[in-house]
Amino acid sequence: MNHFLSINDVTDLNQLISSGIAAKRNPFGDIELGKNKTIGLLFFNSSLRTRISTQKAAQNLGMNVITMNVGQDGWGLEMEEGVIMNGDKAEHVKEAAAVIGSYCDVIGIRSFAGLQDREKDYAEIVFRQFQKYAEVPIVNLESATRHPLQSLADCITIEEFKIKQRPKVVLTWLPHFKALPQAVANSFCEWMNPMDVELVITHPEGYDLAPEFVGKGQVIYDQNKALEGADFVYGKNWSSYETYGQVLTDDPSWMINEAKMALTDNGKFMHCLPLRRNMKVADEVLDGPRSLVIEQAANREWSAQAALKEILLGL
Ligand SMILES: CCC[C@H](NC(=O)CCC(=O)O)C(=O)O
Ligand SMILES: NC(=O)OP(=O)(O)O
């Protein structure tokens, strides 16, 4: 595996899921694989799970880890080509990426969508520039449009907890007062498409995700109807793709509570975290037996370890 940017970099999804489950059973089985290899983790945005789980996974593989909050610890980076750098960016990505690539064998990057310019966000300029100038494998720690380490952990979790061969998986939009990226929702749909699941996507009108991510997903604007018979309910907020970056509604009736979960077939609740309690999901669900959010977050370590193992095998 040359890069881990999206599911398009995965040759065998079932093998990757099995690799993550195997790592969970034997975390140090490949401790020699990453010996004397260094991964640099670059964060342009906040993180808890991705930061800690990816560092731990790399250490489980014997790697050295360097973590950097790019905007705070380093210099502001200019991503555009050919500009006169007389603003607030002191360094160009051409130099920064090449220098970091000289220190690190692998680079992980988190850079969220700006939610101002859809064409710019969906062009993934930060990742394209680092791929071009760092000349080492790049791992997506959440980009403008995708979050593959989260989606692999989601696949591992559903495989672990499913009791039917083809479960009904419902991605439901949740209310939020500020604009959030489509990345997690996009990526979840992208990874659910090849999985043996019935994928349903429910959200208010105006929040349709880009068609290339929806794929086989059935879109139902009536949340209660969508939730009927669900085996897994995956909650996530996202801002409008059509009216890019806008919050069209924060209707609290979309919050998941026990009454909504009662519509499911003893459904389990999933969310990538962080999650705003009692705005997106009621305490009664998160504190009850339906919630898988902690198990799901714990699987981020095994998701990262499976992905990094494939990257190391390709070095
Ligand atoms: C893994 C999720 C990261 C990010 N979440 C947030 O930015 C939440 C911020 C908030 O709730 O204020 C998102 O929605 O993409
Ligand atoms: N789910 C996830 O990526 O969490 P963090 O934003 O805390 O890394």
pLDDT per position as a tens digit, 246-295? 999 999 999 999 999 999 999 999 999 999 999 999 999 999 999 999 99
CA of residue 117 to ligand 1 center, whole Å:
19
From 68-77, 163-172, 212-221, 272-281, the region with the lowest mean pLDDT: 68-77
Test site for ligand 1: of 171, 180, 271, 296, most ligand atoms within 8 A of the Cβ: 180
Six-digit token string for 296: 């799901």
| DSSP calls for 240-299 | -TTTTT------GGGSB-HHHHTTSSSPEEE--S---BTTTB-HHHHTSTTB-HHHHHHH
**pLDDT of res. 85:** 98
- How much is the pTM? 0.98
ipTM score assigned to the predicted complex: 0.99
Test site for ligand 2: of 272, 280, 296, most ligand atoms within 8 A of the Cβ: 272
Burial of 306 (0-12, 13-18, 19+ CB in 10 A): buried
Residues with Cβ < 8 Å from 242, sequence gap 6 or more? 206, 207, 208
pLDDT digits (tens, 9 = 90+) for 157-179: 999 999 999 999 999 999 999 99
Closest CA to 216 of 192, 240, 241: 192
Mean pLDDT for 101-115 is 98
Question: ∠41-209-43 over CA atoms, to 5°?
Answer: 10
> Is 71 a residue whose pLDDT tops 90?
no
